[in-house]
Amino acid sequence: MTDIFSAINLGASQLQNRIVMAPMTRSRTDQPGDVPNEMMARYYAQRASAGLIITEGAPVSAVARGYSLTPGIYTQAHIDGWRKVTDAVHAKGGKIFIQLWHVGRRSHSIIAGEQPVAASAIKEPDQVYGPLPEGGFGMIETEAPRAMTLADIAQTQADFVQAARNAMQAGFDGVELHAAHGYLFDTFMRSSSNIRQDRYGGSQDNRMRFLLETLQAVVDEIGADKVAVRVSPHVKEGSSQIDTEIADLIVNAMEKMLPMQLAYVHFSENIGTYVPVPDSFRQRVRQVYPNKIMVAGKLTNASAQALLDAGYVDLVAFGTPFVTNPDLVARFQHGWPLTEFDADARLSLYGGGEQGYTDYPTYVPDVHCVTA
């Protein structure tokens, strides 16, 4: 039996426990330039007791951007800003990966600076956070994308490699490629959003090619033990029904990932419109992929430990519990009560200032609460 509080190695990085802070989209950067700041450094440092922190998604280029005020990783100012974050986390003894992000069709030219790109020119009803005509920011309808050319694909792969290189310069312990939730790589893998007729469309092998090639290129650049990937085969993407083929595609892709020796494969589950993940799928994954697996999705301490006990996963990730409980690991360890992620917390989740971000208290038993 594997205890949730036991240490685990990710290559050169030794994690003090198996509790991971999951990536959560945020819009709290300094302007202009979408630059990470001291407030973000405080936020992540407060949560450094997690075995591993995965940051919010960081666009790898301007055209990869789909949400205003999110922190990039493609300019020197981004690198310098993120260095504040990594230094703060490392000073507290933590480990931190950055999530590398390309939103694909979930964008608008007013945010990305040009027409969004996608596997195919298919528009879905969707909204993202961007500039409003009357001023300020709010939710706006996405723009119809154009299908990526082969040159676009090659440039995007180069952008991910450069972003990984930038992440190393910024002091990160590794990178996670975001291939879930209807973003660029996910739409290449799904038949409903990929109707290409070239080597990146059609068969399963073709639809997984873009992701696998990009992963290999990033591995070649910074080393396999510093590279991970996030997928969401049991979460609906777009207006179609749950893709009945995507789970098989992901299992087949993991067989091809195995020789890469990635840091981990991260499954995002139980969000949006989803289907429950059957044990039979977890067993298939373990049969083809003995390397490290992480799962996130409305886990509790008990349900996370059960996944570890079953041998289905090696790491368990928590999102919103870490928002309102910066000392989540200690609360789990001692059985202390959790601060609920309520309606007020949800209102301040994505954007704003320190309130609802760095001002959640740690738990002090039988005394009082103090801010971390």
CA–CA separation, 1 vs 259, rounded Å?
Answer: 27
Catalytic-residue membership of 183: yes
**CA angle in degrees (0–180, nearest 5) for 164-95-302:** 120
CA–CA separation, 193 vs 171, rounded Å?
Answer: 36
Length of the chain: 372
If DSSP codes are grouped into helix, strand and coil, which group holds residue 37? Answer: coil
Return the closest-CA partner of residue 183 out of 239, 237, 128, 127: 237
Residues in CB range of 246: below 8 A, 6 or more apart: 189, 190, 233
Q: Please tell me what DSSP assigns to residue 147.
A: E
Q: What are the distances in angstroms from CA 316 to CA 32, 272, 274?
A: 36, 19, 19
Other CB atoms closer than 10 Å to residue 1's CB: what's the count?
Answer: 8
Select which of 43, 44, 183, 312 is catalytic. 183
CA–CA separation, 178 vs 71, rounded Å?
Answer: 15
Quick one: tokens of 127?
Answer: 């909204």
Residue type, 272: G
Contact criterion met (CB below 8 Å) for 296 and 271: no
Q: Is 353 left (phi over 0), alpha (psi -120 to 50) or beta?
A: beta
Return the closest-CA partner of residue 332 out of 300, 370, 306, 369: 300
Whose structure tokens read 């986390």? 89
Say how many CA atoms lie within 13 Å of 125 toward its Cβ.
Answer: 2
Q: Round to the nearest angstrom and report the end-to-end CA distance of the chain.
A: 33
Task: Tell me the H-state helices in 178-245.
Answer: 184-189, 204-222
Longest dimension (CA), the chain: 65
Contact criterion met (CB below 8 Å) for 263 and 174: yes
Give the residue numbers annotated as catalytic, written as ranges.
183
